[in-house]
Amino acid sequence: MKRRDFIKTTVGAGVGCGFVPMRSLFARQAAGMTMYDKIWDAHEISYLGGITSVLHVDRMMLPDSGPAAIKRLLDAGETIRNPELVWAVADHQVSTSPERYTDRSLNLGSVADDFPEMKEQLAAMGIQAFGIDDPEQGIQHVVGPETGLTLPGMLMVAGDSHTCTHGAVGCVSWGGETAQNVLLTGTVIRERARNLRVNYTGTLGPWVRGKDMILHTIGALGADAGNRCAVEYAGPLVRSLSVEGRMTICNLSIEMGAATGMVAPDDTTYEYVASREFAPRGELWDQALAYWRSLPTDDAAAFYRDETIDMTGVEPQVTWGISPEHVIGISERIPAPDDAPFEKRDAWRRALEYTRLTPGDTIADTPIDEVFIGSCAESRISDLRAAAEVVRGRRVAPNVLAWVIAGSQPVKRQAEAEGLDRIFRDAGFDWREPGCSKCYGSNGDLVAQGKRCVSNSNRNYVGRQGIDAITHLVSTPMAAAAAIAGRIVDVRRLMAGEIV
Amino acid sequence: MNSLKPDGLVQWTGIAAPFLRHDVLIDYIAPPIGGVHAHGSAVIPPAGVAANALDQGLRQAFPLDRYLADGSENPEFILNREPWRDASILLAGRNFGIGGTQTPAAARLLGDGMRAVIAPSFGPVFLDDCIQAGLLPVILGQEQVEAIAAAAMAVPRRELTIDLRRQTISRPDIGPIAFQMNPRLRRRFAGGLGDIEETASFQREAEAFRREHELRQPWIYRSTGEPR
């Protein structure tokens, strides 16, 4: 039996709680290795048989929900393993109101802000904790790469499911880990995922970017295509993207059901990492760089699944339903449930009922109530620049509530230095403080009940942004264009002056 | 009746409740908004939850299904009906627990008395949560789940047995159906182990690994904790 056949049949039969008896077929005897397997092996403390290993953790991000649990651990005098590898930042539960610095009660608390003595407790142990007064504060998946706390080759874990974002700098990162275990043992116990590669070919049309690439991919492959897979995004189109663009793609890996997502590091990555606050310098930098250059997947490596996505002719994407896989191009019509594969018809019917859309209508020109620009998907400086380019000299449509939330304090400062905040404010956007905000609403920022929101975030689930709120996922410039037009529109037509 | 060890699970016998809806969101099992705040000082109503259901909703799974808009129990919901009120095994649809963030969905189901969920497939985050929390996730083909569900609807009080050692599921009227689970997870559930118990025995190796790792990749250690 050929190796690939063996892997396919075994994994297929042992779904979920994964039953693959001979891991060596994957990694140890393979002629070439994938980046994921290289990084996994470099962190393996103990191999437990099957596909399970105990792994060393290079970076742990503490969740900001549940500071009391962390405090109990510290107060109990438990020994924290490798505290210098742990960091925390306030994002999910902080207010995004400019008043939050003076009226602290607006914030729903965080590890870094809740207990005045706790921050010192953490600092004394070497745990970095960024609260709202710190210049680094922001959404954890923006802050990590931006500060250089995330570096290529690392194994990074956290509780938050969008931790896969960090893979854009060439590391392996996942969410869903409990803080208690990592703090007490410095390790995680996990099952190795299968390798899935998505190769992007073709060319990107005007105003088509990373967000459209990944939304189109999820639509084409399905929201469960990545189950138990580590996805490596590859191909010339990915190489041509900035690290920020790659982060958007990796961010939505979990929306494909993947264990993680990553892009092999290259000169673009090294250039991005080099200037960061916590990145190595001097001799350490040279040593690190030599190691990082050994990380990319070998030519001879075998993938469990290899997919090619041709982006030529793909339009700006927009979701019409309640799963990121419910996605179409901006000039397409809303599909009918009967167009769906048999097993998805019910889901499509429920989706259309929730989003109050009619099959056969164009998705363009759907009137909207709110626009949200922010989130760990696309709130970095290049995203805000793209939005500002659309907004410059225009006005937000009456009756539309439009917010822009920079992903971090450094992004916000940079945007203000470039005058982007003025462009947004002059157009009628609210320019607010960094945090997760309306993408998830756990700080109280919610889309009003039953309202329709165009959002550059990553999830359009039922109730995700608020009670009965309808979410249309789009790229940042598409969200900006919707705010101007007061309805879902094609940003290309707006910029060409075909829409006023 | 149950050969339940203090906190482990080798064999479990109980009533199975059919809830075969596909693509049930992890956020739907346990709405995350509200209750996430450790102090409980700021509770935002979870999306769609009737006010009266809020208190319950923060402790129970499926608060959106359990209660009607007026706050009374929804008599149609399977887990509000006899005998499924006492069910300890959930028969679920494809992609059960899809999506998800830091929500206590698996813990809520355990709190409701569930010990196992049988489904054709699980959302990846929820599957991890189940393993972390100790809720047994069993994967069977969709037709097999549907067959068990049909039997559970026909004779609801007849109990289902999950045998982790033999890796079978059976009922007096359903022959043993084999499922697969790797030895580590079977050990973990049988022993009632959590991550900390599982990894604790590797502390010596972990420390040795770290010392050696720090020599090989010093930049990971030295670049942190020293803001410049």
Among A227, A278, A343, select the one facing B124 at the smallest CB separation: A227
- Across chain B, what does the average pLDDT equal? 80
Q: Do B137 and A18 touch (CB under 8 A)?
A: no
- Kindly tell me if the per-residue pLDDT of B34 is higher than 50: no
Q: Is the pLDDT of residue B11 over 50?
A: yes
What pTM does this model have?
0.85
Does residue B51 carry a pLDDT above 90? no
Q: What does the alpha-carbon distance between residue A304 and residue B134 come to, in Å, rounded to a whole number?
A: 30
pLDDT over 90 percentage in chain B: 46
CA dihedral A455, A460, A466, A469 (to 10 degrees): 80
- Give the per-residue pLDDT at B58: 55
**In the prediction, which pLDDT does B219 show?**
94
pLDDT score recorded for residue A65: 63
CATH number of B11-193: 3.20.19.10
Q: Mean pLDDT throughout A314-322?
A: 97
ipTM value for the complex: 0.87
Residue ranges covered by each domain of chain B: 11-193, 194-228
Q: What is the pLDDT of residues A34-65, one digit of tens each?
A: 999 999 999 999 998 888 899 999 999 987 76
Do the strands B168-171 and A260-262 form a parallel or antiparallel pair, or are they unpaired?
Answer: unpaired
Interface of B with A in 178-207 (CB under 8 A): 180-185, 194-196, 198-200, 202-203, 205-206
Contact A469, A453 (CB under 8 A): yes
CB contact under 8 Å between B220 and A151, yes or no, is yes
**Of A56, A15, A5, A55, which is closest to residue A228 (Cα–Cα)?**
A15
Interface mutation vs chain A, best among B26, B36, B95, most A CBs within 10 Å: B36
Report the CATH superfamily, name and number, of domain A1-312. Aconitase, domain 3 (3.30.499.10)
* Ordered strands of the B160-163 beta sheet: B11-14, B160-163, B168-171, B174-178
CA distance B20 to chain A (A): 12
Q: How many CB pairs (< 8 A) connect A and B?
A: 207
Query: How far apart (Å, rounded) are the C-alpha atoms in residues A330 and A493?
Result: 11
**pLDDT value of residue B7:** 59
Average pLDDT of chain A, as a whole number: 90
Residue B214 — pLDDT band, cuts 50, 70, 90?
Answer: very high
- How many helices (H) and strands (E) chain B has is answered by 10, 8
Are B124 and B97 in contact, with CB atoms under 8 Å apart?
Answer: no
Residue B193: pLDDT band with limits 50, 70, 90: confident
Residue B80 reports pLDDT greater than 80: yes
Q: What is the pLDDT of residues B85-128, one digit of tens each?
A: 999 999 999 989 987 665 678 888 998 899 999 999 998 878 88
In chain B, residues with a C-beta closer than 8 Å to the C-beta of A92 are: 36
In order, the DSSP letters of A26-59 are TTTS-SB--HHHHHHHHTEEEE-STTEEEEE-SE
Q: Nearest-CA neighbor of A257 among A228, A291, A300, A298?
A: A228
Q: What is the pLDDT of residues B204-213, one digit of tens each?
A: 999 999 999 9
In this predicted model, what pLDDT tens digit does every residue of A453-474 receive, in sequence order?
Answer: 999 999 998 888 888 899 999 9
- In the prediction, which pLDDT does A18 show? 38
pLDDT(B53) > 70? no
Residue A3: per-residue pLDDT: 34
Q: What angle do CA A414, A418, A419 make, to 5 degrees?
A: 115
> Which of B121, B127, B164 minimizes the C-alpha distance to B145?
B121
- Is the pLDDT reported for residue B10 higher than 60? yes
Q: Of A150-164, A423-437, B54-68, which range is least confident?
A: B54-68
Neighbour-count burial of B220, counting CB atoms closer than 10 A to its CB (0-12 exposed, 13-18 middle, 19+ buried)? buried
Q: How many Cα neighbours within 13 Å face the side chain of A487? A: 11
| B105 neighbors B26 (Cβ within 8 angstroms) | yes
For chain A, domain boundaries: 1-312, 317-495
Interval B68-92 mean pLDDT: 90
Q: For the domain A317-495, what is the CATH code?
A: 3.30.499.10
Residue of A nearest to B181 (CA): A17
Position B59 scores a pLDDT of: 67
